[in-house]
Chain A
Amino acid sequence: MTNPAGTATAETAVGAEVIAFRAAGKIFPDGTEAVRDVSFALHRGEFLSVVGPSGCGKSTLLRMASGLGPHTSGEVASRAENVGYVFQDATLLPWRSVRKNVELFAELEGSSKHERARLATEAIRLVGLEGFENHYPKALSGGMRMRTSVARALTTKPPLFLLDEPFGALDEITRGTLNEELMRLFVSERFAAIFITHSISEAVYLSSRVLVMSPRPGRIVAEIEVPFGYPRSPELRYDPEFGRLSSAISHALREGYE
């Protein structure tokens, strides 16, 4: 299931291309143009953040990447046979325990009971939810629900993660912790990620590259490389270069409005 090439090149910065947008756009049936002329390529081991004003088509971009909401112009070439889609809401099934929730995708894809259990155990360990397997989502905190959601996505070992403001509804401290854990997962699993956020510092901290989008119709107004290596420590946020990158993104965001 895992891409052998990906694991072989785990230590090198970037692996095979996972997805590429070429002048891709999307116009909804009602005539609203959500996304215009977006081009980028993403490889395994790359973490791409997308920042932009509300309603600029960031979520539409993710839906285009997943194939759920196909593009209407240009091209989106995906080599990801499955994607790990994580929403701002944990989207768990309230009638299933943590373990049963994590097993869901493997179950839908027809894995054997034994295989499902193995995948779930591993994913639950990766997100640090051991001991909570039999809890229902109702009994979990927001942060733990989000971990369950991430664990569920991990079970299919996706080469591409699509994260739609996954920590947007969490408090600052939980958000910080989950940022570090996401980074740890990224370093150990070497997937490619498209991460949507409103937080510039979150984007710089996690990403190898940041795309800045304009208001609707969303276009890419800046593409900013983040030159830090992985793993990164939380202290990185106080690095002068971190500040420079943040202000560059902030500047590009403001320019996008004009």
Chain B
Amino acid sequence: MSEVSGPQVEALSGGGKISSPTTRLRGGGLVRGVLPPLVAFGCFIGIAYLFSYVLLSPGRRFLMPPPHDVVSHSFFRGRNLHEQLGAMWDTAQVSITGLVIAFLIGSTVAIVMSQAKWIERALYPYAVIVQVTPILAIVPLIALWFGYDFTARVVVCVLISIFPIITNTLFGLLRVDANLHDLFTLHRASRLERLVKLQLPHAVPDIFVGLRVAAGLSVIGAVVGEFFFGQGNPGLGNLLNLYRAHLQTDLLMGALFWACFLGIVSFWVTGFLANRLTRNWYEEHR
């Protein structure tokens, strides 16, 4: 990968020079958009090889397995791939369930907080407390209340991902233009009408910003939850723990890849949904 990235640069930019102005523009965008992360990727892989083959003695090579070993052992051995994909699916179920619950509770809390300043003042400190409490510190409590299986893992997920949903939704609900509020007042809108026809639609882009952050966090929450609460179908967190115990670093990295993949997919899906929903509403700010 690192060897081909050099010639690739020249081939792409050289092709751009002779094409028509419009294709050059588009080609230039592609080069600018795709090439830098590709080059960076090549560098990372190169560094990984440097560590495995140059800096580490063969006896300690397991600490940093060469990338092709990670790929072939994790993704091209049926049993391992099956194990990791199955675990990813379990993790996905936890994180999606957690995200949906965090969204339902979080947006409800934000709506309640938006209704009166004193309610906001009363609840906000507790939202912050949920955010800053280390999960590790409340693991015993969660275990006592919810046991060690799916429910406990979902609870961790909700605790980790709820805060950005609350704050972003609240921000969107409260940031409505004062003139629009005045118009609703002049035409005798009820509190509910104001919420449903003005504040909630106005908050949609912000809700999605919150959801996007929360989606990534909920995957983290699910994996962290699986570390502590491993009963039932424990997913990637448990698998990572297992590989660590067996010093299977190549598989550990494979599982890590799937955890990242899950996070990126949920980040991307929420971004896609937000764009689909609001692309007619606002100008692109780029």
Binding site for B on A (CB under 8 A): 66, 68, 82-83, 85, 87, 89, 91, 93-95, 104-105, 107-109, 136, 138-139, 156
A156 vs B187: C-alpha distance when bound (angstroms): 9
With a cutoff of 8 Å between Cβ atoms, the chain B residues found around residue A104 in the complex are: 187, 197
Flag whether B69 is at the interface (Cβ < 8 A): no
A201 vs B131: C-alpha distance when bound (angstroms): 58
A93-B198, A95-B204, A95-B281 known; A109 vs B182 contact (CB < 8 Å): no
Flag whether B186 is at the interface (Cβ < 8 A): yes
Size category of the binding interface on chain B? 20 to 34
A108-B189, A136-B281, A138-B282 known; A91 vs B201 contact (CB < 8 Å): no
With a cutoff of 8 Å between Cβ atoms, the chain B residues found around residue A138 in the complex are: 280-283
Known: A91-B180, A95-B201, A138-B280. 9 other contacts (CB 8 A): A85-B183, A87-B179, A91-B177, A91-B183, A93-B198, A95-B278, A95-B281, A108-B187, A138-B282
Please give the distance in Å from A31's CB to the nearest CB on chain B.
Answer: 21
**A91, B179: Cβ atoms under 8 Å?**
yes
**B179, A89: Cβ atoms under 8 Å?**
yes
**B204, A108: Cβ atoms under 8 Å?**
no
Flag whether B83 is at the interface (Cβ < 8 A): no
**B182, A85: Cβ atoms under 8 Å?**
yes
List the A residue with the shortest CB-CB distance to B194: A108
**B186, A82: Cβ atoms under 8 Å?**
yes
**A109, B280: Cβ atoms under 8 Å?**
no
With a cutoff of 8 Å between Cβ atoms, the chain A residues found around residue B79 in the complex are: none
List the B residue with the shortest CB-CB distance to A68: B182
A66 vs B182: C-alpha distance when bound (angstroms): 10
Please give the distance in Å from B117's CB to the nearest CB on chain A.
Answer: 16
A91-B183, A93-B198 known; A109 vs B188 contact (CB < 8 Å): yes
Flag whether B171 is at the interface (Cβ < 8 A): no
With a cutoff of 8 Å between Cβ atoms, the chain A residues found around residue B189 in the complex are: 108
Please give the distance in Å from B241's CB to the nearest CB on chain A.
Answer: 46
A95-B201, A95-B204 known; A85 vs B283 contact (CB < 8 Å): no
A91-B177, A94-B281 known; A68 vs B198 contact (CB < 8 Å): no
Please give the distance in Å from A193's CB to the nearest CB on chain B.
Answer: 16
With a cutoff of 8 Å between Cβ atoms, the chain A residues found around residue B201 in the complex are: 93, 95
List the B residue with the shortest CB-CB distance to A88: B179
Chain A CB within 10 A, most for which of B187, B197, B204, B283 = B187
A26 vs B125: C-alpha distance when bound (angstroms): 38
Q: List 18 A-B contacts (CB under 8 A).
A: A66-B182, A68-B186, A82-B186, A83-B186, A85-B182, A85-B186, A89-B179, A91-B180, A91-B183, A93-B180, A93-B198, A95-B204, A95-B281, A104-B197, A105-B187, A108-B188, A108-B193, A109-B187
Give 5 closest A-B pairs by Cβ, nearest first: A94-B281, A108-B187, A136-B280, A95-B201, A105-B187
Flag whether B184 is at the interface (Cβ < 8 A): yes
A138 vs B283: C-alpha distance when bound (angstroms): 7
Q: Which of B227-264 contact A (CB under 8 A)?
A: none
Q: Which of B271-285 contact A (CB under 8 A)?
A: 278, 280-283
Please give the distance in Å from A92's CB to the nearest CB on chain B.
Answer: 9
With a cutoff of 8 Å between Cβ atoms, the chain B residues found around residue A91 in the complex are: 177, 179-180, 183
Chain B CB within 10 A, most for which of A95, A105, A109 = A95
Q: Which of A89, A136, A156 contacts B177 (CB 8 A)?
A: A89
With a cutoff of 8 Å between Cβ atoms, the chain A residues found around residue B186 in the complex are: 66, 68, 82-83, 85
Please give the distance in Å from B186's CB to the nearest CB on chain A.
Answer: 6
Please give the distance in Å from B276's CB to the nearest CB on chain A.
Answer: 13
List the A residue with the shortest CB-CB distance to B184: A108
Please give the distance in Å from A233's CB to the nearest CB on chain B.
Answer: 33
With a cutoff of 8 Å between Cβ atoms, the chain B residues found around residue A136 in the complex are: 280-281
Please give the distance in Å from B128's CB to the nearest CB on chain A.
Answer: 30
With a cutoff of 8 Å between Cβ atoms, the chain B residues found around residue A108 in the complex are: 184, 187-189, 193, 197
With a cutoff of 8 Å between Cβ atoms, the chain B residues found around residue A87 in the complex are: 179
With a cutoff of 8 Å between Cβ atoms, the chain B residues found around residue A94 in the complex are: 281-282
Please give the distance in Å from B115's CB to the nearest CB on chain A.
Answer: 19
With a cutoff of 8 Å between Cβ atoms, the chain A residues found around residue B177 in the complex are: 89, 91
